[in-house]
């Protein structure tokens, strides 16, 4: 799919740069473009919309009517006026529709229903073995999804779509997993059509790191257009937000940084068959193995976190070194991609400041001054919901894509759902 230029529409985002990004070519401004303007939540009059888009008042009126009929905007009162009838204002109506996001891990899933502003209306965690195969897992996703819809009292016709994140490589355009190492039976499986047969709405699929990046960006860092999200957990991956959109690369493999070579780590054997991979030296699994070999038993990422939090010096030292190793690979990425922020998340990031301190140490030392002058390196803020929220956001951005709406498809169909205006 091609997502449009997404506009992150938390009401806090009203600075000039965002406003500039919203200003689309006036000639092409359709109802979708108008909606994009209003997604910041600020109520506007027809005159203001006309001035912002350069469209004639009559054209704006027609497009406002279409958005009102679809429920995507709602009247939001009248502005103060010195005399005569005050002009009506209109605002984005996030309650018009909902999205369902599912973040599937190796052994558990988190599902969330959000409104169009990405607010979580309800969510559930479930134990779910991805290795059970696609039918069994997706049947459970559908079952939990239906329950969540019931909980919020919304029918399927209010559902814009379903977003699903999988713990392995995904070809986003077809929604199929590609040779996923921990997902027996999933290779090439047509996830969207299987789910659509059970809940007839658009279904979009991506890998777990990309949806986490999207959820984290949308929720916590909407003002940063170029973001790298690092998931440091049992494995290590990176989600790339470029120009406000997920960057996936030609085959969807962009950001797979876990198998980039780290200097001096040639004796570390990786599960991919190579040696010296970042994942083989700096992942939660790799640190746990090293600690165990040192006589400090650790079963995995979470044990490492627990040891670090309890002040185990060997664990803290290993976590800090993992941060440096991650930083070494990222230093090259910083020079190459020039992100405005790097967000460190995943279970290993719960070990505290030592991971991020190691990352900072190497990046600021090894990257070019111009690339690091304004670079921020921060811990993830969204927590365990980032993936499920991001999966929902993927659906919202797709459905509210201005080009799609301007073409008269997507969410711009009259709805029976009452607006909250
Ligand atoms: Zn590898």
Task: Give the model confidence (pLDDT) of 279-300 as tens digits.
Answer: 999 999 999 999 999 999 999 9
Among 176, 216, 172, which Cα is nearest to 345's?
Answer: 216
Question: Ligand 1 centre from 374 Cα, in Å?
Answer: 31
Question: Ligand 1 centre from 352 Cα, in Å?
Answer: 26
Question: Ligand 1 centre from 234 Cα, in Å?
Answer: 13
% of the chain with per-residue pLDDT over 70:
88
Question: Looking at per-residue confidence, does 222 or 182 come out higher?
Answer: 222
Whether 20 has a pLDDT exceeding 60, the answer reads no
Give the C-alpha distances (Å, rounded to integers) separating 170 from 145, 242, 294, 297.
21, 19, 37, 34
Mean pLDDT over the full length of the chain: 88
**Alpha-carbon span 145 to 200, nearest angstrom:** 13
**Alpha-carbon span 159 to 351, nearest angstrom:** 38
Residue 414 confidence class, pLDDT cut points 50, 70, 90: low
Domains and CATH numbers, the chain: 31-77 (1.10.10), 98-211+386-406 (3.30.420.40), 212-382 (3.30.420.40)
Question: Ligand 1 centre from 83 Cα, in Å?
Answer: 71
**Alpha-carbon span 96 to 116, nearest angstrom:** 7
Give the pTM: 0.86
Structure tokens at 182: 């921990």
Mind listing the pLDDT tens digit for each residue in 23-77?
A: 434 345 688 888 988 998 899 999 999 999 888 898 999 999 989 988 999 998 7
Average pLDDT over residues 221-250: 94
Question: Ligand 1 centre from 170 Cα, in Å?
Answer: 18
Average pLDDT over residues 323-338: 95
**Alpha-carbon span 160 to 339, nearest angstrom:** 31
**Residue 137 — φ and ψ, nearest 5°?**
-70, -45
Question: Ligand 1 centre from 212 Cα, in Å?
Answer: 22
**Alpha-carbon span 105 to 118, nearest angstrom:** 21
Q: What pLDDT score does 33 carry?
A: 86
Question: Ligand 1 centre from 330 Cα, in Å?
Answer: 16
For residue 265, the Cα-to-chain-centroid distance in whole angstroms is: 32
Question: Ligand 1 centre from 113 Cα, in Å?
Answer: 35
Q: How many other C-beta atoms are found inside a 10 Å radius of the C-beta of residue 352?
A: 15
What are the residues facing 123 on neighbouring strands?
112
Q: Identify each DSSP E strand in 357-406 by its residue range.
A: 376-379
Question: Ligand 1 centre from 277 Cα, in Å?
Answer: 5
Q: Which helix H or strand E contains 127, and what residues bound it?
A: strand 120-127
Question: Looking at per-residue confidence, does 414 or 334 come out higher?
Answer: 334
Question: Ligand 1 centre from 260 Cα, in Å?
Answer: 7
Structure tokens at 295: 């006589």
């Amino acid at each position: 799919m091609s997502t449009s230029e997404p506009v992150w529409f938390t009401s806090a985002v009203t600075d000039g740069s965002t406003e500039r990004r919203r200003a689309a070519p006036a000639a092409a401004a359709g109802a979708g473009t108008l909606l994009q303007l209003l997604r910041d939540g600020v109520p506007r009059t027809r005159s203001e919309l006309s001035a912002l888009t350069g469209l004639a008042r009559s054209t704006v009126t027609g497009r406002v009517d279409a958005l009102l009929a679809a429920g995507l905007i709602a009247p939001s009162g009248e502005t103060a006026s010195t005399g005569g009838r005050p002009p009506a204002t209109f605002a984005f109506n996030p309650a018009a529709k909902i999205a369902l996001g599912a973040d599937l891990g190796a052994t558990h899933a988190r599902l969330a229903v959000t409104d169009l502003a990405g607010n979580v209306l309800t969510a559930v965690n479930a134990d779910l073995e991805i290795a059970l195969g696609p039918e069994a897992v997706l049947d459970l996703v559908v079952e939990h999804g239906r329950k969540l819809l019931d909980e919020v009292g919304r029918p399927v016709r209010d559902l814009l779509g379903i977003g699903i994140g999988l713990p392995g490589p995904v070809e986003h355009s077809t929604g199929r997993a590609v040779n996923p190492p921990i997902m027996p039976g999933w290779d090439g499986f047509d996830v969207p059509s299987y789910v659509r047969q059970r809940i007839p709405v658009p279904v979009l699929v991506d890998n777990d790191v990309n949806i986490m990046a999207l959820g984290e960006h949308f929720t916590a860092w909407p003002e940063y257009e170029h973001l790298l999200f690092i998931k440091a957990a049992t494995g290590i991956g990176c989600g790339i937000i470029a120009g406000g959109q997920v960057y996936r690369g030609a085959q969807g493999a962009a950001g797979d940084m876990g198998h980039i070579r780290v200097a001096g780590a040639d004796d570390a054997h990786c599960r991919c068959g190579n040696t010296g991979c970042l994942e083989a030296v700096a992942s939660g699994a790799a640190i746990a193995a090293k600690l165990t070999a040192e006589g400090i038993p650790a079963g995995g990422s979470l044990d490492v976190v627990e040891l670090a939090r309890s002040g185990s010096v060997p664990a803290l030292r290993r976590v800090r070194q993992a941060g440096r190793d991650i930083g070494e690979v990222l230093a090259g990425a910083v020079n190459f991609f020039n992100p405005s922020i790097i967000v460190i998340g995943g279970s290993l990031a719960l070990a505290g400041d030592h991971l991020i301190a190691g990352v900072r140490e190497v990046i600021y030392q090894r990257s070019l001054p111009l690339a690091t002058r304004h670079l921020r390196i921060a811990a993830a803020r969204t927590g365990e919901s980032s993936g499920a929220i991001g999966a929902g956001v993927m659906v919202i951005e797709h459905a509210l894509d201005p080009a799609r709406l301007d073409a008269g498809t997507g969410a711009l169909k009259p709805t029976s759902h009452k607006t909250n205006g």
